[in-house]
Amino acid sequence: MHKSVLAAGLLACGLAHAAASPKTIQLTPLGSYSSGLFGQSAAEIVAHDPASQRLFVVNAASGLIDVLDIREPSRPTLLFNLDLSAHGGAVNSVAVRDGLIAAAVENRVRTEPGRAVFLNRDGQVLASVQVGALPDMLVFTPDGKHLLVANEGEPSDDYLTDPEGSVSIVDLPKDITKLTQAQVRTADFRAFSRADLDPSVRIFGPNASVARDLEPEYISVAHDSKTAWVTLQENNAVAVLDIKRGQFKAIHGLGFKDHSLAGNELDASDRDNQINIRNWPVLGMYQPDAIASYQYRGRTYLVTANEGDARDYPGFSEEVRLGSANYPLSPLHFPDAASLKQNANLGRLTVSTASGYNPASGHYEAIHAFGGRSFSIWSEDLTQVYDSGADFERITAAANPQFFNSDHASNSFDNRSDNKGPEPEGVTLAKLWGKTYAFIGLERIGGVMVYDISQPQAPQFVQYFNNRDFAATPGSATAGDLGPEGLMVIEAEHSPIGVPLLVVGNEVSGTTSLFRIDRQHR
């Protein structure tokens, strides 16, 4: 197997965007709980209750929440399951605050309204309210007065039904058992028209209105509990929510990542038999999944994991290979189109047919690929102040060159280069020993990237740790963690061992793993 661009010097020469700093913290694996289920979304989102030292882990497809005892984090053990099937279908998210557990449960008919279910730490259901279609993520506000639910509102497979995306604001009473449907407000997008939106906001589904097409994915709430930022992943945008008024006050398009610029290189082919991280005339749509926020010198900054996501349904799909005859490139904008369409170049790259097309010429004048293969930091008004560029592909190539851009279901070489690469999906932030760190999970090759983001304009790469054994077959007991999705940090004062812990839920391997975080003295 020929691998041309590298391994020894790759990491040193490749980090144009983030200087590799002296290792200020160190991740070390402690213990892992395995659900025994492979490829069934058996460990997605994780939440922690400090008083009981229990983890609540979304076992999505089973309609369960697994409750784990982590008093000995080296030996997390299953206590019991919370069966929420009486409230709907799959469980999509869980959050914990002061012993109150909230779960997002989708309707068995995904296009119909779902529910937010409230329980105590022992699993007793205390209240349940209706929210929007396909509640995908939920979070308590820092002041504990509200629960926010991102209702993604995905269409039916035939695309004949497309519910509106929204955010449900549940105003929490002091006694949760007194919660009624009247305390649920809905923030929708009906006030916005296409004319209000930045051109990089993608409104493109069949017969789409803005309200139906926007699909809330993930929420981060300001420290003062007044504002929330909501990723609209398929739409390549972030919406700003005024929590008190219950209204969206802005929708910010995130623009495009120019992969022709130095520092923004990518490997675009799974058929060139090499690691080939280079510039291409491609625009990446950031399309973040998870979002987090933090304060620096009195200002709020947002951190996004730029995963990318296409609409791909039997009734409508925007995905196509760039080399397809159904994707004609403009000879004016791409005079080397024939070369670009070769499989070893861009021909295998998965791109969108929903944008970049000029109907007057009958050609695509811009190539739009899914995801940024990076994480970004944005100011409060969604101006980008930092992007990790090509770091993730370069770092993972140096760490595991034989399994560069491997998928999470097979130990393979280069088979994700044509489609979102490492695919960063989850992100969580923590302030440790006076510094702010970002932990970003890579869904495909696996592992967690750690960056010191104390200075938003100048993050520093700290560590890449992958708790995956490439010598073992995915699905076997020894394969380790595959498909990290939900991440959280348990700070030292809430940790069962007095040391900060990173918790990662891995949806493909069905494992929930704990890592201790230690300070490294220079």
What is the model's pLDDT at position 20? 54
Measure the CA–CA gap between 219 and 394, rounded to whole angstroms: 29
Per DSSP, helices labelled H in 310-445 are: 337-340, 391-399
Residue 239 contacts residue 253 (beta carbons within 8 Å):
no
Q: Is pLDDT of 21 > 90?
A: no
Kindly state the average pLDDT of the residues 317-337: 98
| Start-to-end CA span in the chain (Å) | 39
Q: Is pLDDT of 458 > 50?
A: yes
Q: How much of the chain, in percent, has pLDDT values that exceed 90? A: 92
How many residues belong to the chain? 522
pLDDT bucket at 8, cuts 50 / 70 / 90: very low
Measure the CA–CA gap between 81 and 91, rounded to whole angstroms: 12
Return the exposure string of 446-484: e unless at least 16 CB atoms fall within 10 Å of the residue's CB, then b.
bbbbbbbbbebeebbbbbbbbbbebeeebeeeebbbbbb
Q: Is the dihedral of CA 220, 282, 348, 479 positive or negative?
A: negative
Q: How many CB atoms lie within 10 A of CB 176?
A: 16
Kindly state the average pLDDT of the residues 10-29: 61
What is the model's pLDDT at position 318? 98
**Residue 379 backbone zone (phi > 0: left; psi -120 to 50: alpha; other: beta):** beta
pTM of the complete model: 0.95
What domains does the chain contain, in order, with CATH numbers? 10-309+371-519 (2.130.10.10)
Measure the CA–CA gap between 383 and 54, rounded to whole angstroms: 38
Cα atoms in the Cβ-side hemisphere of radius 13 Å centred on 444: 24
User: Which residues make beta-bridge pairs with 93?
Assistant: 104
What is the model's pLDDT at position 182? 98
CA 409 to the chain's CA centroid? 18
Each residue's pLDDT tens digit, 345-384: 999 999 999 999 999 999 999 999 999 999 999 999 999 9
